[in-house]
Structure 1
Amino acid sequence: MTMTKALSGSFLEGSIRHRRTAPVGHEFTYPIGLYGVRLSEWNQLPSLARGISTRHINRIWFRRRDYFQPGNGDLETAVKRHVFLATDWEPDGPIELVTQPRYFGWCFNPVSFYLCYPKGADSEENPVPRVILAQITNTPWHERHSYCLTGAGETVTKEGWRSLRFRFPKQFHVSPFNPMDQDYEWLFGFHPQGLRIHMNVKGSGGKVFDATLSLTRHPLDAEHVQYAMERYPAETIKASIGIHWNAFRLWRKGAPFHDHPGYATATTAAPDSGDLTATHITTLNNVGTVTSWKT
């Protein structure tokens, strides 16, 4: 196979931090490496380096079945179709998937973000997506749920970060240490050299948890893929061990355990159907509309 010098996506390197303030305090920060993949270049990923595949187990495996609507053909088409069903806008620009692939066949990917940019975004130095599709997978149940976020007002900092903010009620059971009766606040920051994603989780008494993903963009080329393989040789395995270790620490601290409530919400749809039985939520000015459904 002829090796490709570079693709249009990014290798994203930085840190992930979790902070819990109630009912018990707990915090950790880990280094992390992620991939920002252009869906239009999905089939070119194996040309970046030996050890990457999209069709079979490998050191790094971008497996189609691990991502959105696996029964609906190629990933780019599936994302475009369901964004249109949720928002009445079909993405006409690049779609970037921010994700963890499988490492040595092991999948652990709590959230993947599909950043759907408008037409002409490639000509901008710092484009902002028109729609963000967040696909959540919970542990240990391995269920999937998607939030489609759009319509937020943009803010710009003096450092050049362009930010979008969303607030919406939680619709999907993620952590056994968090109940369902909570609200989310998500902040996305975009910069030519970086990406930041911050999430606040709020209960009736205020914020109980936050998570921050702070990333620097690097070219998605053979050099940085080789670096990633050496610096982050088994990210999904490391993350899987880490989440269970921190769950044990929370249990030792006396954090209450919340059983899975089941899908007793009105925001579900058959995974491969064309129907979205969904809820559109707008809570405050400039925080957008959220469509939620089971995938």
Structure 2
Amino acid sequence: MPEPSIYIGQVSHKRLTPFVHALDYKVFSLLLDIDKLRETASDTRMFVYNRTGVVSFHDKDHGPRDGSPLRPWLNNILSEHGYELRDCPVRLLTFPRLWGYVFNPLSIYYCYDRGGHLKVVLYEVSNTFGQWHGYLLPVTREASGPVSQKTTKEFHVSPFMPVDGTYEFTLTPPGEKLSVLIRYKGEQGEDRMIAKHTARRSDLTAAGLASALSKHPMMTFKVIAGIHWEALKLWKKGAKFHPKPDLPRNHITG
């Protein structure tokens, strides 16, 4: 079972239609045990839980967004979708708040059974309009190897992409390395966008956080600034604008 960790790596996006547009940026994420957030904060200077700090994690940035603990919410989600994993071990991969600010385009909950086998993944997707949606997908791989998953796109992320087609996820669960590959395909099966996150593990310690912060001191601000800057470049290139549709009826789909 992976311990709370820092993952330092890179995110890349490549739009393929109607023209090619690519970007990449360096990031660091935290892998957290959702049942030991207070203990992690107590053990790790520089990292605080539900308080203002240089590096912090707030319950209100995830799940129901009301500041309540994540475990009861996630238990209900799993039970409602037929997964017998109540109080199962869960690791959350996400950006921390830096200097009190964060925007998480994608956070990932890895849900394990008591034997330490990955059984379900929840992809928590957010857009810049303050909305979010979750894709809850089972893990059907054999004992080893990458996880492959597929789901219908239900949620408006970019105003320059429609809400149709499918997502195909390929991920390597957290270990000494991790990777997440997302292919967004159109209704005819054509690739529209490819995104990838690769990272290498580091210990979640005060020294590890200080090192990551020294290399990426304004990371969370750069993420949201970069999204808007790239949107401006897409608009100047003539990308078709898609108005924001109504939210899906359910916050979680699979």
Instruction: Judge same fold: TM > 0.5, yes or no.
Output: yes
Asked if residue 145 in structure 1 is aligned to residue 133 in structure 2, the reply is yes
Could you tell me whether the CA contact under 8 Å between 2:180 and 2:196 is conserved in 1?
yes
Could you tell me whether the CA contact under 8 Å between 2:91 and 2:110 is conserved in 1?
yes
Percent of aligned pairs with the same amino acid: 28
Provide the secondary structure at the position in 1 that maps to 2:35.
helix
Q: Pick which of 9-18 and 214-223 moved more.
A: 214-223
Asked if residue 106 in structure 1 is aligned to residue 101 in structure 2, the reply is yes
Q: Pick which of 171-180 and 199-208 moved more.
A: 199-208
- Provide the residue aligned with 1:32 in structure 2: 27
Could you tell me whether the CA contact under 8 Å between 1:48 and 1:225 is conserved in 2?
no
Could you tell me whether the CA contact under 8 Å between 2:170 and 2:180 is conserved in 1?
yes
Asked if residue 247 in structure 1 is aligned to residue 231 in structure 2, the reply is yes
Match of 1:220 among 204, 226, 231: 204
Alignment map for 1:166-177 (pairs within 5 Å): 166-177=149-160
- Provide the residue aligned with 1:159 in structure 2: none
**CA pair 9-50 structure 1, distance change in 2 beyond 3 A:** closer
- Using the size of structure 1 for normalisation, the TM-score is 0.79
Q: RMSD across aligned C-alpha pairs, in angstroms?
A: 2.0
Matches of 1:39 and 1:57, distance apart in 2: 19
Could you tell me whether the CA contact under 8 Å between 1:39 and 1:75 is conserved in 2?
yes
How many aligned residue pairs are there? 252
Matches of 1:154 and 1:252, distance apart in 2: 46
Deviations 1:159-201, CA, capped at 9 Å, x for gaps: xxx2111112101111111001221111111363111100001
**CA pair 68-191 structure 1, distance change in 2 beyond 3 A:** closer
- Provide the residue aligned with 1:164 in structure 2: 147
Provide the secondary structure at the position in 2 that maps to 1:236.
helix
Deviations 1:192-220, CA, capped at 9 Å, x for gaps: 31111000011134001110001111222
Matches of 2:199 and 2:215, distance apart in 1: 15
- Provide the residue aligned with 1:130 in structure 2: 119
**CA pair 130-101 structure 1, distance change in 2 beyond 3 A:** same
Deviations 1:7-41, CA, capped at 9 Å, x for gaps: 93110011101001101210011111000011121
**CA pair 14-151 structure 1, distance change in 2 beyond 3 A:** closer
Matches of 2:186 and 2:66, distance apart in 1: 36
Provide the secondary structure at the position in 2 that maps to 1:196.
strand
- Using the size of structure 2 for normalisation, the TM-score is 0.91
> What residue ranges of structure 2 are gaps of 5+ in the alignment?
none
**CA pair 187-225 structure 1, distance change in 2 beyond 3 A:** same
* Structure 1 position 71, deviation (Å): 4.2
In structure 2, give the amino acid aligned to 1:230: S
Which is greater in Rg?
1
Provide the secondary structure at the position in 1 that maps to 2:4.
strand
- Provide the residue aligned with 2:175 in structure 1: 192
> What residue ranges of structure 1 are gaps of 5+ in the alignment?
1-6, 122-127, 157-161, 270-277, 279-290
Q: Pick which of 171-180 and 101-110 moved more.
A: 101-110
**CA pair 48-245 structure 1, distance change in 2 beyond 3 A:** farther
Could you tell me whether the CA contact under 8 Å between 1:91 and 1:116 is conserved in 2?
no
Q: Which runs of 4+ in 1 moved over 6 A?
A: none
**CA pair 233-18 structure 1, distance change in 2 beyond 3 A:** same
Q: Pick which of 84-93 and 191-200 moved more.
A: 84-93
Matches of 1:78 and 1:135, distance apart in 2: 13
Matches of 1:11 and 1:55, distance apart in 2: 19
